[in-house]
């Protein structure tokens, strides 16, 4: 298969399905490994980073916030280079082993009370390894699938890889909830939280088995046989003006905006409904999960559509809709959960003990509100507010999150095919990985943190959206003016 | 369109240094002993990370502006891709 095929035989169709399966399962598991750390961050911080030790607390901040995201572009450089030198197959096999090994090891690290400062340092190193591995994985998987795909269906086939980030989040939440429900809370907090990390080794073993049976990418194999492999992919990618201009365009005209739209729709939205709208913990996650389930097939749809009308057209439309509608959407989300706007029908106050007061209110639309005030005699009592929406408001909230996830599928579904097509085979892995991980790891990954900080500093619940709107707006202008909507069907260059 | 691409290149070239100055200015305000809210360890961490990460990115957008001003993006359609 020296160049990308145009019409697939039955055997080739079977091959491409196996290629997608092998790539997607591995990438999904890597996302799973990446997310369980975040989802269990609060427990991890108590086990490894005692707050009484300022140095350990500092390491905690670095480990949980910065390391996982910031290190991703470095992983892109390290493994991208390797992928262009030794091949796609073995490189993304290596990232899988590193990710699985570090995740499994996190589950084995003794706590701070047992080994002291060695615990947070070890966890930080393992988290850095996770970020590095993820930085190398995606570019390899996307390149591998794209280089097996026929030119006229590249958007469709690579869009399967694009679903893995969302499915990895499902898997992480599912395994954590299953473990949590199978154990007593005490046992889960004591040792049960290690189970999601430890079972990663089985998932990785399955994925390694599948990937080992795969062949090298046909396009990479071809340039290897011809002896035209790049001798220095990093230099060729980033020191040669003709390629560097495309790296910069990919970052500022596509991945930067795509990253902020993605993280706003899937992660900042959860933070907003939980912290600003006070939606109860489980209900907030249910809302996000239902919206994600409903919208995930659209990754495939927009990937398929991008083969017909172009990648740029869909990504820019998604970005534009996000820029225009984010503020009205978030204002509506805030409004439907604002109990001050609702007609109260009943109220009760109880005092379970001398230090706690619980106020329960219900409203005409079946919304309920619970306010728990603890330590009422202290100068600063702690107040927890929980809102459970009435049926109509609940489904309206799901619709508003669903709309945001649709934007995510529009900007993210076609991006793998877009990135693969703008770089040549000999330096494709290095060149596409860096803009992808700066766009998603830095601009996207920092979105919840920066947006929450803006909201707090400006004392405006919607101020955080200006980060997303500004970055997506700049990206939209650059993308519209500089990027081409033409599909490069032949990527065997 | 090519003229627009080139002139916008000047804006991207200026946007890089402008955003670096803006970030450093805000960091100085928040980390100053006279800041409205006294800086904490989290404030330092935030600004160190933001400046360390975004300065190279700001240099990148200036470089893109430089390429745009010199016409490197004028003929992308002809360089890559086939008509739909």
Measure in Å the smallest separation between the Cα of A418 and chain B Cα atoms. Answer: 11
More confident residue, B31 or A452: B31
The single-letter DSSP state of residue A216 is: P
More confident residue, A375 or A225: A225
Q: What is the pLDDT of residues A365-406, one digit of tens each?
A: 999 999 998 877 777 788 889 999 999 999 999 999 999 999
Q: In a 3-state reduction of DSSP, which class is residue A52?
A: coil
* Among B42, B64, B77, beta carbon nearest to A484: B77
**Which helix (DSSP H) or strand (DSSP E) does residue A188 occupy?**
none
Kindly state the percentage of chain A with pLDDT values over 90: 43
* Among A70, A446, A482, beta carbon nearest to B73: A482
Q: In a 3-state reduction of DSSP, which class is residue A415?
A: helix
Whole-Å CA distances, B66 to A244, B61, B63, B69: 12, 9, 5, 5
Q: Does the structure show a pLDDT above 50 at A1?
A: no
pLDDT-derived band of residue A412, with 50, 70 and 90 as boundaries? very high
* Among B12, B46, B57, beta carbon nearest to A438: B57
More confident residue, A204 or B66: B66
Measure in Å the smallest separation between the Cα of A66 and chain B Cα atoms. Answer: 8
* Among A70, A252, A481, beta carbon nearest to B4: A481
Q: Which of the residue ranges A352-356, A414-418, B67-71 would you say has the lowest mean pLDDT?
A: A352-356
Q: In a 3-state reduction of DSSP, which class is residue B55?
A: helix
Q: What is the pLDDT of residues A156-184, one digit of tens each?
A: 999 999 898 888 888 888 888 889 889 88
Q: Does the structure show a pLDDT above 60 at A5?
A: no
Q: Which of the residue ranges A144-158, A178-192, B29-43, B69-83 would you say has the lowest mean pLDDT?
A: B69-83
Best mutation target, B40, B54, B70, B72, to test chain A (most A CBs within 10 A): B72
Measure in Å the smallest separation between the Cα of B31 and chain A Cα atoms. Answer: 14
The answer to whether A83 and A92 are in contact (CB under 8 A) is: yes
pTM: 0.88
Whole-Å CA distances, A380 to A289, A355, A363, A457: 35, 12, 29, 21
The whole-number pLDDT of residue A28 equals: 87
Interface check for A490 against chain B (CB to CB < 8 A): the answer is yes
Interface check for A58 against chain B (CB to CB < 8 A): the answer is yes
What does pLDDT average to over chain A?
88
Q: Does the structure show a pLDDT above 70 at A142?
A: yes
Q: What is the mean pLDDT of residues A438-458?
A: 87
The whole-number pLDDT of residue A54 equals: 59
Longest CA–CA separation in chain B, Å: 60
More confident residue, A488 or A138: A138
Q: What torsion do the CA atoms of A36, A206, A142, A304 make, to the nearest 10 degrees?
A: -90
Interface check for B6 against chain A (CB to CB < 8 A): the answer is no
Q: What is the pLDDT of residues A50-63, one digit of tens each?
A: 766 656 565 565 55
Q: Which of the residue ranges A50-59, A208-217, A404-413, A476-485 would you say has the lowest mean pLDDT?
A: A50-59
The whole-number pLDDT of residue A62 equals: 58
The whole-number pLDDT of residue B3 equals: 92
Give CA–CA dist A451/A416, Å, rounded. 26
Whether B46 and A482 lie within 8 Å, measured CB to CB: no
């Amino acid at each position: 298969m020296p160049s990308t095929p145009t019409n697939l035989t039955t055997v080739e169709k079977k091959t491409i399905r196996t290629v997608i399966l092998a790539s997607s399962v591995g990438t999904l598991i890597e996302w799973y490994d990446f997310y369980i750390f975040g989802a269990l961050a609060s427990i991890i911080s108590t086990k490894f980073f005692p707050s009484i030790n300022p140095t350990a607390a500092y390491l905690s901040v670095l480990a949980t916030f910065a390391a996982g995201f910031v290190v991703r572009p470095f992983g892109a450089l390290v493994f991208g280079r390797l992928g262009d030198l030794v091949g796609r197959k073995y490189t993304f096999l290596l990232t899988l082993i590193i990710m699985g090994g570090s995740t499994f090891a996190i589950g084995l690290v003794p706590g701070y009370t047992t080994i002291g400062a060695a615990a947070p340092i070890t966890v930080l190193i393992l988290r850095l390894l996770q970020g590095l591995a993820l930085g190398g994985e995606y570019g390899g998987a996307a390149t591998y699938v794209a280089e097996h795909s026929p030119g006229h269906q590249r958007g469709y086939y690579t869009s399967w890889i694009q679903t893995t980030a969302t499915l990895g989040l499902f898997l992480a939440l599912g395994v954590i909830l299953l473990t949590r429900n199978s154990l007593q809370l005490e046992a889960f907090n004591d040792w049960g939280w290690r189970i999601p990390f430890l079972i990663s080794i089985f998932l990785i073993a399955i994925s390694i088995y599948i990937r080992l049976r795969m062949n090298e990418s046909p396009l990479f194999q071809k340039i290897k046989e011809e002896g035209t492999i790049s001798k220095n992919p990093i230099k060729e990618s980033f020191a040669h003006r003709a390629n560097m201009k495309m790296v910069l365009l990919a970052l500022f005209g596509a991945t930067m905006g795509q990253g902020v739209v993605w993280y706003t729709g899937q992660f900042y939205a959860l933070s907003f409904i939980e912290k600003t709208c006070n939606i109860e913990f489980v209900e907030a996650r249910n809302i996000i999960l239902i919206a994600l389930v409903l919208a995930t097939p659209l990754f495939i749809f927009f990937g398929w559509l991008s083969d017909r009308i172009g990648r740029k057209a869909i990504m820019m439309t998604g970005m534009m809709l996000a820029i225009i509608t984010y503020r009205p959407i978030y204002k509506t989300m805030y409004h439907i959960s604002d109990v001050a706007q609702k007609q109260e029908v009943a109220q009760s106050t109880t005092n379970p003990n001398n230090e706690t007061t619980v106020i329960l209110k219900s409203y005409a639309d079946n919304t309920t509100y619970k306010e728990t005030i603890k330590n009422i005699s202290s100068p600063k009592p702690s107040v927890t507010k929980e809102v459970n929406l009435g049926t109509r408001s609940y489904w309206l909230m799901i619709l508003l999150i669903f709309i945001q996830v649709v934007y995510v599928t529009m900007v993210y579904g076609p991006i793998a095919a877009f990135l693969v097509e703008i770089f040549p085979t000999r330096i494709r892995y290095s060149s596409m990985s860096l803009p992808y991980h700066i766009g998603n790891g830095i601009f996207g990954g920092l979105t919840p943190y920066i947006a929450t900080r803006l909201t707090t500093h400006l004392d405006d619940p919607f101020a955080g959206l200006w980060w997303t709107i500004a970055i997506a707006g700049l990206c939209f202008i650059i993308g519209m003016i500089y990027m081409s909507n033409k599909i490069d069907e032949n990527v065997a260059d | 369109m090519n003229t627009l691409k080139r002139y916008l290149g000047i804006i991207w070239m200026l946007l890089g240094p402008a955003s670096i100055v803006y970030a450093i200015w805000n960091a100085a305000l928040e980390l100053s002993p006279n800041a409205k809210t006294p800086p904490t360890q989290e404030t330092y961490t935030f600004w160190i990370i933001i400046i360390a990460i975004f300065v190279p990115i700001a240099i990148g957008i200036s470089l893109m502006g430089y390429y745009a001003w010199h016409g490197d993006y004028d003929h992308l359609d002809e360089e890559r891709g086939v008509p739909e």
